[in-house]
Amino acid sequence: MAHRPEVNGPAPARRTVLRGSLGASAALSVPLLASGAAPAQALRGRPAARWGVQTGDVTATSGLVWVRSDRRARMVVETSATESFRRSRRWHGPLVGPDTDFTGRAALHGLPPGETVHYRVTLADPDDPRRTGKPVYGSFRTAPARRRESVRFLWSGDLAGQGWGINPDRGGYPIFAEMRRLYPDFFLCSGDTIYADNPIPERLELPDGKVWRNVTTPEKSKVAETLQEFRGNFRYNLLDGALRRFNAQVPWITQWDDHEVLNNWYPGELLDDDRYTVKDVDTLAARSRRAFSEYFPVSTLPPKDEDGRVYRVVRHGPLLDVFVLDMRSYRNPNSPGRQPDEAQGILGARQLAWLKRELSRSRAVWKVIASDMPLGLVVKDGRTDYEAVAQGDPGAPLGRELQLAELLRHIKHRRITGTVWFTTDVHHTCAQRYDPERAAFKDFAPFWEFVSGPLNAGGFGALELDGTFGPDQRFVKAPRQPNTPPTEGGQFYGQVDIDGHSGEMTVRLREEGGAVLFTQVLQPGRVGQ
């Protein structure tokens, strides 16, 4: 097994105008230009990458590098096997400008498998290439080419929800500093990367009478409707220094869920919400998807793929394939979920066919299914409708459950081994094993689902389980009060280690502060666990 530092040891060397408390927020290394429009005097000099760097969808030989400039600039990336950059390779990225909110990404290919890649991004004046800004450094590890090399990743979701934003009194988003010290190969963000429908106020009163203070910006003072407001939501999180340092060291595999647009949305929805002047959810979703594609390095989003798919498979060597789902863009409308015949479901027919085909083709030991919503937890939308797959009826599959039943049947009959589901969304953590012996629908092999999150949002209570697929909840930890603030706990993430020698997968559910709450070891090569 490759050497990793101790869990609680030091991190390894891998290389708008703000409102609120500016004095305290200076400790967060907040970029000087929080809004998209920089003041004229700040644009003198050379281009600057004040929002850090980020990598995404890293494989054994490829990856995407992201940056944002404070003005028009040419993006140049250099990669090297060493921090000295004595021998380096140069990659010419795009010319970034206002059409992408000054963001850009460069695709790297032909990288060495299983190696640490050091990189630096330099922004150059497009009219005078000799005028360059200060390089910004990062590093990542490519996926291994050999089965004997172990893999570690983390997962969670839900950032800056319910008005709990970047609090300088807590050091911003402290969970990212904690996760960085675990030295993961990548971070799987399971959605709700922003809360476009949750404004960030300057102050919130805590239950004990104390005050939670937020760094905030004009774009976060209202619900997001315009493209610029959605961009400002994604940019907001990058004001946090702990997140930027995490991004410089840990690649992301990113998916989205509802709050990138608004709570519980579905295609074709028309809003009855006085906060919005734009009532057409499809218009809001299109604007958010564009901003999402600008602020996250995702291999299937524009400019590479004009269809703008969030669902994809990211291959991480012989041990692991990650199947990233999109349970938001193709779903049927939220409803009581009792339809006896339902082809569209929560994935749509095309995505379901893709998932079945790619799972059948996969030769990885483990097939992680990254789901932005849980399967058996009953997530309501109002009094009569349901938001996720389950709808509270423990009998035979109905509504969206029919699509899940078809997928599970396919996995069993094709004898696809090593499928494990990871998700977030519900603002608590739990683990359940689905067993056909306990289920109303029995034509599937047993499997596990692990739930974690939020990263920095309100905590919420445990949800009821639907018995259709026989879930046996082995662990749950949830706050007792709704919208519990991060200062009172309830902030969770998960850790997954795959051993290169035995092939075993060890899943740990963790809480901010470092505590391991639950551990489950899974054996490789089985259709069901």
Domain coordinates in residue numbering, the chain: 52-142, 151-522
Q: What is the pLDDT of residue 301?
A: 85
pLDDT higher than threshold 90 for residue 253: yes
Average pLDDT over residues 321-345: 96
Q: State the pTM of this model.
A: 0.93
Q: What is the mean pLDDT of residues 408-413?
A: 98
pLDDT score of 1? 40
Q: Nearest to residue 249, comparing CAs of 181, 189, 295?
A: 181
Q: Which of 357, 475, 367 is nearest to 421 (CA)?
A: 367
| Cα–Cα dist 60/25, whole Å | 38
In this predicted model, what pLDDT tens digit does every residue of 362-396 receive, in sequence order? Answer: 999 999 999 999 999 999 999 999 999 999 999 99
Q: Which residues make Cβ contacts (< 8 Å) with residue 405, sequence separation at least 6?
A: 397, 441, 443, 444, 469
Burial of residue 4 (number of CB atoms within 10 Å: 0-12, 13-18, 19+): middle
Token output for 409: 């049947």
Question: Residue 499: which pLDDT band, with cuts at 50, 70 and 90?
Answer: very high
- For 487, the token pair is 């200062």
Residue with tokens 């290439």: 129
Considering the segment(s) 52-142 as one domain, its CATH architecture is Sandwich (2.60)
pLDDT (average), residues 70-78? 97
Q: Do domains 52-142 and 151-522 have the same CATH topology?
A: no
Average per-residue pLDDT in the chain? Answer: 92
Contact 380, 387 (CB under 8 A): yes
Longest alpha-carbon distance in the chain: 69
- Range from 58-62, 294-298, 299-303, 351-355 carrying the lowest mean pLDDT: 299-303
* CA atoms in the 13 A half-sphere facing the CB of 169: 14
What pLDDT is stored for residue 529 in this prediction? 62
Dist CA 456 CA 163 (whole Å): 10
Crossing angle of helices 227-237 and 281-295, rounded to 10°: 40
Strands 151-156 and 492-498: antiparallel
Mean pLDDT on 178-205? 98
pLDDT at 46 over 60: yes
* H-only helix segments in 303-400: 349-361
Burial 342-379 (b: 16+ CB within 10 A, else e): bebbbbbeebbebbbeebeebebbbbbbbbbbbbbbbb
Position 335 confidence tier, pLDDT thresholds 50, 70, 90: very high
- pLDDT confidence of residue 305: 58
Residue 78's pLDDT band, with cuts at 50, 70 and 90, is very high
The pLDDT confidence band at residue 511, using thresholds 50, 70 and 90, is very high
Residue 158 three-state SS: coil
Task: Please say if the pLDDT value at position 326 is more than 60.
Answer: yes
pLDDT score of 13: 38
Residue 347 has pLDDT above 60, yes or no: yes
**For residue 438, is pLDDT > 60?**
yes
Q: Is 450 exposed, middle or buried (0-12, 13-18, 19+ CB in 10 A)?
A: buried
Q: Give the pLDDT of residue 528.
A: 63
Please measure the distance between the N-terminal and C-terminal CA atoms of the chain and give it in whole angstroms: 24
Backbone angles phi, psi at 186, to 5 degrees: -160, 165
At residue 290, does pLDDT exceed 70? yes
Distance CA 121, CA 135 (A): 5
The whole-number pLDDT of residue 431 equals: 98
pLDDT of 346 higher than 50:
yes
- Residue 173 DSSP code: S
Mean pLDDT to the nearest integer, 414-433: 98
107 phi and psi angles, rounded to 5 deg: -90, 125
Dihedral (Cα; 62, 63, 64, 65), 10-degree rounding: -110
pLDDT at 3: 38
- As its CATH architecture, domain 151-522 has 4-Layer Sandwich (3.60)
Give residue 222's pLDDT: 98
Q: Which tokens in the block code for residue 195?
A: 């809360």
Rounded Cα distance, 453 and 263, in Å = 17
Q: Which of 70, 81, 20 is nearest to 48 (CA)?
A: 70
